[in-house]
Amino acid sequence: MTARVLYADPNLRSFTLLEILRRDGVECIELRHDLKDMLEFMLAGQDILLVSADELVKMPMVAAASSLMQVVAYIPPLIEGTQWVTLPVGGTSEQHAELIRGMIQRGDEGRRRTRIPLECILWIKGVPHTVENASVRELWLSSWRPADGHTLFDGVLDLGEAYGSVNVAGRVVAQRNNGCAVHISPTQDVGLLSWLDYFSQVLNRTPESQRIELVKEYFDEP
């Protein structure tokens, strides 16, 4: 069963985001009546709950839902350690939609790690590809659409003057007509340390930094 987006958006905060998801074929179902109808969906599959109104985050039912299903909201959860993703502050509706689409396509593997806006370059076979957002183990490349059917590759991450280059082994884990997601593993210990340091510096400028355990997310393999 393909995951759907169940949403509570009484103030139409996520109207554009939801329109983008629907345009891309994602089924979006509105929850009403104080979210009571959410109960019938909780155990039905791998659906995602989008909570657009900050005041609803404080509801006990939403906190309970985050223990059973993936919750996406604009602010952090009240209870840590649950299945919760906070949308990046300042992100566009398209960027937020991209994050949710990626979660749907990657399933459980994509829900374990925090994704943030991040820009660097990944070189593959001598061709540079721009990274637009990333988790500590996965990059989104909007400019690469591998057509040869190969999912494994070797690449070089260019992190700029301060951090240098990092050799990585990569694997394509999701692909759409507007790009693809790749799972990466630095091939040397010094490269891993450079990547974690770089990611940490970018992460520290986002609200997600207050709730992510970076090393744990890196080594917590699905």
- Average pLDDT over every residue of 168-186: 83
**DSSP for 124-171?**
ETTEEEEEEEE-SSEEEESS----SS--EEEEEEE--TTT-EEEEEEE
Is the pTM here over 0.85, yes or no?
A: no
CATH of the domain at 34: 3.40.50.2300
Domain that holds residue 155: 116-219
Which range in 57-71, 152-166, 193-207 is most confidently predicted, on average pLDDT? 152-166
State how beta strands 179-186 and 28-30 pair: unpaired
Closest listed residue to residue 100, CA positions, set 73, 125, 65: 73
The first and second tokens of residue 158, run together, are 């260019």
Q: Residue 189: give its domain's CATH number.
A: 2.40.10.220
Please tell me whether residues 24 and 79 are part of one structural domain.
Answer: yes
Instruction: Mark whether 74 and 135 lie in a shared domain.
Output: no
Regarding whether 138 and 107 lie in a shared domain, the answer is: no
Percentage of the residues of the chain whose pLDDT score is greater than 70: 78
Name the domain boundary from 68, 95, 111.
111
Q: Tell me which residue of 49, 61, 68, 71 sits closest to 5, measured CA to CA.
A: 49
Share of the chain above pLDDT 90, in %: 25
Q: Which residue has the higher pLDDT, 33 or 179?
A: 179
Please compute the mean of the pLDDT values over residues 155-173 and round it to a whole number.
Answer: 91
How many H helices and E strands in the chain?
A: 7, 11
Where do the DSSP E strands lie in 19-159?
A: 28-30, 48-51, 70-73, 84-86, 116-124, 127-134, 138-141, 152-158
Q: Note the pLDDT of residue 180.
A: 82
Q: Are residues 126 and 212 in the same domain?
A: yes
Whether residues 198 and 153 share a domain: the answer is yes
Regarding whether 91 and 176 lie in a shared domain, the answer is no
Domain co-membership, 170 together with 79: no
Residues 127 and 156 reside in one and the same domain: yes
* Residue 168 and residue 95 share a domain: no
Q: Which amino acid belongs to residue 6?
A: L
Q: Are 74 and 55 in contact (CB under 8 A)?
A: no
Predicted pLDDT at 110? 45
Count of domains forming the chain: 2
Q: Are residues 134 and 76 in the same domain?
A: no
Distance CA 119, CA 139 (A): 10
Check whether residue 98 and residue 128 sit in a common domain: no
Same domain, yes or no: 209 and 122: yes
Q: Which residue in the block uniquely carries the two structure tokens 């040869």?
A: 148
